[in-house]
Structure 1
Amino acid sequence: MKKIIFLTFTVLIAVISNAQIMPTSKVELQIYYKDNILKLDPIEGIYDVAVNQWGENAFTRFPGESTELDPVMIYKDKNGSFKWYGNDQVTIKKVSSNVYNFNVFYSGSNVTGTTRFILKEGRFFEAPTSIPDRQLRYDMGRNYQAGFQVHFDYTFSKTYPSEEMYYRAKEEEHRVAIENNTPKQWSGTGFALNDGYIVTNYHVIDGAKSISIQGVKGNFDTHYAVTIVGCDKNNDLALLKISDSNFTGFGPIPYAISNTTSEVGEDVFVLGYPLTSTMGDEIKLTTGIISSRTGFQGDVALYQISAPIQPGNSGGPLFDKKGNVIGIVSAKHSGAENVGYAIKTMYLRNLVESCANASIIPTNNTISTLALTGKVKKEKSFVFFINCSK
């Protein structure tokens, strides 16, 4: 019986392999993926495919076999249909955002088998199928036994375009958008160190010809001019200093800058000025936990946090439950809910020591015993609204 299963599988694959080729070559299709990466439907791409096949009748299940197929290329043709390259027997139809139907046409019996699957994370799906009874009768002829069934479990894993390619394409799209549509003014968040120094993200001040801050000692009527002291582009950090002659100092800073790495599960909170055009100018508080000690694609310089962040939070402080600064908010994950990233303070220390003096780093926490409301009341006067312009 095992031999019959294998022969049936061979018939199926043979039909697939002899289908008409569209488009004209694999190279052409790979170039299409690369050149249109952000326009592709999530299902499109090149997949590694494993197939587990087995047979059964009313009495027993027969030993199965697992097979690795050659890489499979799925694309959307000019008629809007999703095709398996070189295979007219299989078509895929989109049902909703990540739900598809996997259709296999059996020419011998003129029957189409359909199974529904969910595309997970834009990269994985499983499509279990069974050869219809009429096709088995056609394939096996006199060897066919009533009630005999043959099943296949396809497992697809996308290898191209890679996640890194999608990420880089998004970065390039963002860069081009900035070049073409960069506003004359934009904003972010920063926070105080000693002696008039301020921390923010590099991407907040990148390209700015004029930078000023508001919110010193809670005063938003006064703007202070600042200059760039040093930058760490790789870790998205910038160190600024108030250069305004009217500046008289921040006063005693109530928080310390942590010199240790925090653990997964620790409570955290964020202060900043997100989306001020629609959310208003008042400082905003969000809370969450450290979800991971590494960030996007395992970046060890970042924490992953669950505290919600938005554009405008960039450069703001990430506090632990004692009110110490443990990170600098840098980005959110556009493809996930409440997934943000913050740069660990050890990288801020490296920047400070390379272009200023370690003495500017606050080391005395005077608010650790206060409730969250008390911590926010004290610390918000040291978190600033940063104005940038070209």
Structure 2
Amino acid sequence: MQVSVGTGFVVAEGYLLTAQHVLRGQDSIWVGPLEGRKWVRAQVVKFDNQLDLALISAKVSAAPLSFAAWSEVPTGLEVTAIGYPQPRLQGLSKKITQGLINGNRSDRNESFDAGFFQFSAEVQIGNSGGPVLSPDGLVVGMVQKKLNALDVAERTKDLPVNVSYGLKSSEILGFLKDTPVEPSVKSLSLTTNLRPYQIFSFKQGSVFAVVGRKTNTTPEPAQP
């Protein structure tokens, strides 16, 4: 059985966002763990391969997370990621990490603003699809992937540390426009600075593991 694990977060009653690559090619999708260690089956409502973004529906009752407008998000803002890193090694429990928004993501094959940003909160396989939160608890983006440090070190003899990439809230809000979800967008407060334990306490109840399963297949390499 092929199994992929990522993270998702609630954006409306019965709807969650996650990374598309977690679900790609899978026969079934599950969200949990809920109370009593239960899992519920989910269905894909909409996806975008280019953005690596998917909206799924599931019988999950939790407070939707609110978004910040990306135009209000400054480079250097402290951010927090909540998700399920390396669940096979670290267990299926939510973890929190912190970092900074380092800037826009761009390279030789992309325009300056490709809809993604670089941030330094540590993420691992399993974090994909999780929320990237501002100090006041708003979603500024979604965890998508990280730089392959070992590959870069082999090519450049330099080991990059905590180079992660997220999808900007502006791209997510655009994706949700023609869906049943009416996302909550709030003004970013640069004067409200919740402590990490407060952000986790207030927001972790809206973050779940997303598991994709496919039977009778040859295993494929896991994606970050």
1:362 is aligned to 184
- 1:256 equivalent to 2:66? Answer yes
| Superposed CA offset, 1:188-238 (max 9, x none) | 10100112110001111111110011144xx36010111000011111100
Which of 359, 364, 371 is 2:195 aligned to? 371
C-alpha RMSD of the superposition: 2.1
- Amino acid aligned to 1:286: T
User: Which structure 2 residues correspond to residues 310-329 of structure 1 after superposition, within 5 A?
Assistant: 310-329=124-143
User: Which structure 2 residues correspond to residues 90-169 of structure 1 after superposition, within 5 A?
Assistant: none
Query: How far apart, CA to CA, are the structure 2 residues paired with 1:342 and 1:295?
Result: 12
Query: How far apart, CA to CA, are the structure 1 residues paired with 2:14 and 2:69?
Result: 21
- Amino acid aligned to 2:23: I
Alpha-carbon spacing, 1:362–1:224, altered in 2? closer, same or farther (3 Å): farther
Alpha-carbon spacing, 1:189–1:296, altered in 2? closer, same or farther (3 Å): farther
Query: How far apart, CA to CA, are the structure 2 residues paired with 1:272 and 1:295?
Result: 25
Deviation at 1:364, TM superposition (A): 6.0
Deviation at 1:363, TM superposition (A): 3.6
- Amino acid aligned to 1:285: I
Which of 143, 146, 152 is 1:332 aligned to? 146
Which of 65, 80, 86 is 1:275 aligned to? 86
- Preserved CA contact (<8 Å) 1:215 1:381: no
Higher relative contact order (CA 8 A, sep 6+): 2
| Superposed CA offset, 1:114-134 (max 9, x none) | xxxxxxxxxxxxxxxxxxxxx
- 1:196 equivalent to 2:14? Answer yes
Alpha-carbon spacing, 1:186–1:329, altered in 2? closer, same or farther (3 Å): same
2:57 is aligned to 241
2:118 is aligned to 304
- Preserved CA contact (<8 Å) 1:215 1:382: no
Count of paired positions? 197
**DSSP-derived class of the 1:193 partner:** strand
TM-score of the two chains, using structure 2 as the length reference: 0.81
1:342 is aligned to 166
- Amino acid aligned to 2:184: P
Alpha-carbon spacing, 1:388–1:303, altered in 2? closer, same or farther (3 Å): same
Larger radius of gyration: 1
**DSSP-derived class of the 1:353 partner:** coil
Structure 2: state its 5+ residue gaps.
153-159, 215-224
Deviation at 1:257, TM superposition (A): 1.0
Alpha-carbon spacing, 1:299–1:194, altered in 2? closer, same or farther (3 Å): same
Query: How far apart, CA to CA, are the structure 1 residues paired with 2:5 and 2:129?
Result: 10
Q: Determine which structure has the larger helix proportion and give its number.
A: 1
**DSSP-derived class of the 1:278 partner:** helix
Deviation at 1:293, TM superposition (A): 2.1
- Amino acid aligned to 1:239: L
- Amino acid aligned to 2:10: A
